Structure 1
Amino acid sequence: MSSLPPFLSSPLSSSSPAFLLFLFVIVAVLLIQINRRTGSSPAAPGPPPARGSIPCLPWLPVAGSLPWLGGGRPGSQAKEVLLQKGRDFAGRPTMVREDSLLNLLDALLKGQMDGGRGQRSSGAKDEGITDDHVLMTAAEAFGAGVETTSTTLLWILAYLLHHPEDRVQKELDDCVGSERPVCLSDRSRLPYLDCVINEGMRIRPVSPILIPHIAMTHSSIGGHSVSQGTRVLVNMWSIHHDTEHWDKPDIFNPDRFLNDQGQRVIPPCFLPFGAGPRVCVGESLARLELFMFLSSLLQRLSFRLPDGAPPPNLQGRLGVVLQPLPYEVVVTPRAGWKNSV
């Protein structure tokens, strides 16, 4: 953000290449660094994968009639391409140190070299940590920080266009100011910003139905018997809009995540990343990205509707993730940042 592109002073569509570039530039930088380290070239041209192209619901008859579930590269083929990319990266010289694990991949590789030793549930077969475990866990963590994060930002900005962001920006001005950028250590001093992020993830979860899980043993849920091997889906939309747990759940209200003393609270029914041992492995990355991206944007920029334009449609469009319909926004530098954004 060293210089603000001149096109941001005019209405910009949330689905335009420029706006998506604005959100995805960090991903491109990471991919370039990986390619440089592996000495690999970009993938050969091919049809772009369609949103919703992962066949995770083969048993659902209606799935074949939904256009957003069709097209693109078959899931097994896409997985193999990803795995091969990971194998190329894994061929680099081993740099894992016992006394310094720098990242998730280092921890996974160390666990693999240790033979997968550790505590396992009673009766579980110890297969160790395979290449597929390492690569797919890393892919899951990275994937959670890409499209889901950018989509959540688009939803939050859409709601802030309905509900002006003055209170968030006042908190940023009072706690951080305009003399320096926001850093991670500021997070504890920006409770309302964190509440805005949580409310955005609650009211429009990017995964209204969480990815399928498999019951490892026979169990029961709410009095219903669940046999071993049953595919289980969690209706996150229903949980986040349940009137028994949320007051006026269809209203955007970040204050629901604050108690009477102004301290942050997390209701037990707020589960945007799932729960339990199989909670989304990319949760920490996604939360940090959302905080840094949104705080930096609102600290330096103001967002408003073009003159005479209607506010964004909040219905959304369902694919692999629930995306907002395209909307236009005018982005301008805030006072004090005009010469530095």
Structure 2
Amino acid sequence: MKTEVHLNSPALAVAMKGGAGYWRRQWPLYIMMIIPMAFFIVFRYIPMAGVLVAFKDYNIFKGIWASPWAGFDVFKEIFSLPEFYKALRNTLMLNFLGLLTFPIPIVLALMLNEIRVHWYKRVSQTLMYLPHFISWVIVGGMAIELLSTNYGTINQMLNAIGVPAIPFLEKPALWVATYVGAGVWHSAGWGMILYLAALTGINKELYEAADMDGATRMRKTWHVTLPGIKPTIIVLFILQIGNMANIGFEQPYVLTNNYVSDYSQVISTYVYTVGIQSARFAIATAVGLFQSVVGLILLLTAELISRKINNQGIF
């Protein structure tokens, strides 16, 4: 039997009253959402119109809309440039090496979680995540002052004890190790904070049950702690795989030099060199679009694999 709700029915009056009460209670939240929504619309969605530059014979004086269409000619040109493949290779290589350091924040969080001296734990936590707030310009200057072959502090100490200077920033292999190490120092502490936050959500009764069963600390870590933060690990791992084709501009730019340019030139610095210094805006836009598409494909692939294996993902 179909139930009819008349305009003057008590049920409709209660529903309308409840809806009015909801908006009366929640309207400040919707007002606060206007600012982040405006940010994404103005700085994320409207600039997407600039993607058209990748498909046009762009003329800065004519503008985006008046410039003639070029189809996929710009993409054909970048795929014929050896510098593009070199930048793509370096981007994937450095990001893959960074991916190998993914467990470091997890290990730091697990170690810090086992510390029972609260003041020592707070001080250690602060010292480890503080580098995240230091600009890469400052980090690059610190690296040069410490690792420079001629006047770096570390090499001066080595020379003082009779050890030859080590060209940390001049040999490609040593530069790559320095790059990865600087990235770990800069970001591992921040990742550790995310895992510490996830650790607080684990049910304490699970540890008590493990104690009653006579589990050691290692057993509790393996069977209670790691499964408890598994969703966080999966989400962050998927996001990092999705960023395999993307790389920040500041770190490779401030750490590069002429000795290692064949290994330090990545897509972000290549876009800067081609787009800003050479004023080839169409090529720079096409490279950036290619980078975004590859990153999206990697993200969706990692999500699909995670769904198949663990039935967990970010979507």
Q: Which has the larger radius of gyration?
A: 2
Structure with higher helix content: 2
Structure with higher strand content: 1
